[in-house]
Amino acid sequence: RKDITVALAGNPNSGKSSLFNALTGSHQKVGNFSGVTIEKYEGYADYNGYRIRFVDLPGTYSLTAYSPEELVTRQYLAQDTPDMVINVVEGPNLERNLLLTTQLMEMEVDLLVALNMYDEVEEQGINIQVKQLQTLLGCHIVPTSATKKTGIDALLDHVVRVYEGDIEIRKNKLSFRNEIEEAVEAIAAELAGEPELKTYSSRWLAIKLLENDREVYSLVNRFPVWVKIELMLQEAIRITEKMYDADPEILITEDRQAFIRGAMEECVRQPDVKRVSLT
């Protein structure tokens, strides 16, 4: 028997706990994440000779350092390194949900998207070009309905096949505007050589530093390479202030939003408004 560990991440009310229940049935236990009183639900499903262990992460809209739920989520992903992350998204509210997706992409985890509430998507007549969205996000997408229990086996099947490398997809990254991208890459290159940070994506650390993330600052500022990185950060700020009259943090947020808007325009058609009869 092979074990696969999968973390479930998603916005509050995306149907994450319903999906967790549908996936794990009665095989569940509850504990806490280390050092905090946030409940940690764990469970498993046996599928085709694999035991797939699921960890239900707290519901979050983002991955900043501003709330314990978001900190727990990103700490778990960076330090416990699950084999895969299933990002549960609310199909009818895709645009809002994609903010977390972009940040999971930034962490460079192995990602699978459960396009949940797909029953609602169909009922409302929303058209989502799944193939095209897969290419943009660089990960497989499986339509699910946690309450109608559809797509559950397809999701388990994808977990196994993605884990085994049977179905590959070209990972995609969200590229920022040039001035940011250059700084991200240069800083990431400096961090890549640090053995103590090896479970972290150095690209993600670099993005977080440019976003002024206090927690990542204190993680990184004890290494000798910090002296050089601090100068790079100052330089990045100088350049963006001059060119855009804004600091990198604001521009990174704008670029994420632009990526999401582009994905929505390319892949999602809202239903035509029904003609109201005037008779």
- The count of residues interacting with ligand GDP (CB under 6 A) is 16
Regarding beta strands 268-269 and 127-128, do their DSSP bridges make them parallel or antiparallel, or are they unpaired?
antiparallel
Contact in structure between 145 and 173 (CB atoms under 8 Å): no
- For residues 33 to 72, the per-residue mask of contacts with ligand GDP, x marking binding by CB under 6 A and - elsewhere, is --------------------------x-------------
Does position 82 interact with ligand GDP (CB under 6 A)? The reply is: no
Does position 145 interact with ligand GDP (CB under 6 A)? The reply is: yes
Does position 12 interact with ligand GDP (CB under 6 A)? The reply is: yes
Beta carbon of residue 111, minimum distance to ligand GDP (angstroms, whole number): 17
Give the residue with the Cβ less far from ligand GDP, 87 or 240: 87
Structure token digits, residue 100: 């977390």
Of positions 63, 114, 117, 183, contacts ligand GDP by CB under 6 A: 117
Query: DSSP labels for 16-31?
Result: HHHHHHHHHTT-EEEE
Residue partners of 211: CB distance under 8 A and separation at least 6: 64, 248, 249, 252
Contact in structure between 246 and 210 (CB atoms under 8 Å): no
> In terms of residues, how long is the chain?
279
**Residue carrying structure tokens 């604001």:** 250
Residue number closest to ligand GDP, CB atom: 15
Contact residues for ligand GDP, defined by CB under 6 A? 10, 12-18, 59, 116-117, 119-120, 145-147
